[in-house]
């Protein structure tokens, strides 16, 4: 039993090949669609030197860096990730503080989220998602005996996440705040947190989100624009209305690769946050459905890998795998919801697909850690030590 797959009775593979190919196909699709969505913007901008392949070349560079970083991350045993988790988390908090220092953090479109590294920019909130997964998993394992206690189990994590949330909202980066909060809550729940405490926390978070939206005219305008984009199609509802037009034009099979009209200076952020709308226009419902199925597969495999790790009594590894699944799934759902008008506009990219260096590298590293969990599971099932 420890040497064969239960279903096929064939020797266990070294890694989950279906998961790897799904990741590769999403990255490849992202390269093609980033190029398609950005040609007009790149040719028309002085900042890009009017080079049509500007964003494609940068995305290819990000993919290369992401693959190298992922290969390095895969080499690190999970026990070492667990030992480093608190220090990585503190490092992430330090970067979130650093980005808010005037003259150090770089401001773009009213948000101060980036650190300039001259050649590229670093977005600390993207790295913080991975660090939050590792820290929350380590915390939950260490505090397993106190998950029923408000003071000893829940309160310390709540205070830590309050600090991180405050830093993220100062940037502001409400989207990253939502994702990181879901990661922390989800891992605590999966780790055995008392359901009454969890329900109370969920209620408090809902109230908190409503207060944050009502207290910020900027966020309130986004919610109003999301509820009825056609009420102000040239103002608050401009971006969403053009995204919906793109979806409408795509119909079932799309207008054809490269034939999008909305990417021609109509739809803002066409190659980043709203890339899915361009995909919908060019590849249609079929293309969007394929992407949704790919993300559903990644999330399903992450939870399956986590369950296998749990059955092998590898609790930290199990929570890390499922936390990564939560991260990828929630961020994909939010981006898809924003593009289709089901959620208010938020600055979150579609994992592995949208243009963006920090997000792509962080996601590649996270998926490498997930594959490492799976690899270690398979080694243990063969009777080897890891």
Q: What is the mean pLDDT of residues 217-243?
A: 79
For residue range 40-91, what is the model confidence (pLDDT) as tens digits? 999 989 989 999 999 999 999 999 999 999 999 999 999 999 999 999 999 9
Confidence of residue 11 (pLDDT cuts 50, 70, 90): low
Q: Tell me the C-alpha to C-alpha distance, in Å, between residue 204 and each of 56, 121, 139, 179, 339.
A: 43, 35, 21, 16, 28
Between CA 121 and CA 126, with CA 123 as vertex, the angle to 5 degrees is 140
Of residues 321, 66, 359, 329, the one with CA closest to residue 179:
329
pLDDT digits (tens, 9 = 90+) for 12-53: 678 899 999 999 999 999 999 999 999 999 998 998 999 999
Contacts (Cβ under 8 Å, ≥6 apart) of 55: 34, 35, 38, 41, 42, 48, 271, 355
| CB neighbours of residue 77 within 10 Å | 13
* pLDDT band, very low/low/confident/very high, at 366 (cuts 50, 70, 90): very high
Residue 4 predicted with pLDDT over 50: no
Q: Which residues pair with 112 in a beta bridge?
A: 107
Give me the pLDDT at residue 219, please: 67
pLDDT of 296 > 60? The answer is yes
More confident: 97 or 192: 97
Closest by Cα among 352, 217, 345 to 269: 345
Q: How far apart are CA 269 and CA 354, in angstroms?
A: 10
Range with lowest mean pLDDT among 182-186, 192-196, 298-302, 332-336: 192-196
- Percent of all residues in the chain with a pLDDT value above 70, rounded to a whole number: 95
pLDDT at 221 over 80: no
Residue 151 is given by DSSP the state: I
The reported pLDDT for the residue numbered 225 is 66
Question: Would you say residue 341 has pLDDT above 70?
Answer: yes
> Of 152-161, 175-184, 271-280, 330-339, which gets the smallest average pLDDT?
152-161
Residue 10: pLDDT over 70: no
pLDDT beyond 70 at 202: yes
CA distance 264 to 100: 34
Pick from 352, 351, 349, 325: which is nearest to 338 by CA?
349
Please report the pLDDT score of residue 214 as a whole number: 75
Is the sign of the CA dihedral 189, 194, 199, 204 positive or negative? negative
């Amino acid at each position: 039993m420890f040497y064969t797959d239960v279903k096929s009775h064939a020797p266990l593979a070294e890694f989950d090949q279906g998961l790897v190919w799904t990741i590769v196909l999403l990255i490849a699709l992202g390269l093609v669609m980033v190029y398609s969505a950005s040609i007009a913007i790149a040719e028309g901008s002085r900042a890009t030197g009017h080079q049509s392949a500007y964003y494609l070349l940068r995305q290819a560079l990000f993919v290369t860096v992401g693959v190298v970083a992922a290969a390095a991350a895969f080499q690190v045993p999970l026990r070492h990730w667990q030992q480093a988790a608190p220090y990585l988390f503190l490092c992430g908090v330090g970067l979130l503080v650093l980005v808010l220092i005037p003259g150090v953090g770089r401001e773009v479109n009213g948000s101060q989220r980036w650190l300039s590294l001259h050649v590229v920019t670093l977005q600390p909130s993207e790295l913080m998602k991975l660090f939050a997964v590792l820290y929350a998993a380590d915390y939950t394992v260490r505090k397993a005996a106190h998950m029923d206690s408000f003071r000893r189990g829940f309160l310390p994590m709540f205070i830590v996440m309050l600090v991180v949330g405050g830093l993220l909202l100062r940037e502001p980066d409400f989207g990253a705040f939502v994702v990181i909060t879901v990661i922390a809550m989800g891992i605590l729940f999966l780790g055995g947190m008392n359901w009454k405490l969890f329900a109370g926390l969920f209620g408090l978070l809902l109230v908190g989100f409503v207060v944050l939206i009502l207290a910020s005219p900027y966020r309130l305008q986004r919610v109003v624009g999301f509820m009825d984009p056609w009420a102000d199609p040239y103002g608050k509802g401009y971006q969403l209305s053009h995204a919906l037009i793109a979806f409408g034009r795509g119909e079932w099979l799309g207008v054809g690769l490269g034939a999008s009209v909305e990417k021609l200076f109509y739809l803002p952020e066409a190659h980043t946050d709203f890339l899915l709308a361009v995909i919908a226009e060019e590849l249609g419902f079929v293309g969007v459905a394929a992407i949704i199925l790919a993300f559903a597969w990644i999330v399903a495999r992450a939870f399956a890998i986590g369950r296998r790790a749990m059955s092998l009594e590898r609790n930290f590894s199990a929570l890390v795998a499922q936390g990564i699944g939560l991260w990828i799934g929630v961020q994909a759902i939010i981006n898809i919801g924003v593009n289709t008008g089901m959620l208010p506009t938020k600055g979150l990219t579609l994992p592995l697909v949208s243009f963006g260096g920090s997000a792509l590298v962080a996601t590649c590293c996270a998926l490498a850690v997930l594959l490492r969990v799976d690899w270690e599971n398979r080694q243990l099932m063969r009777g080897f030590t890891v």
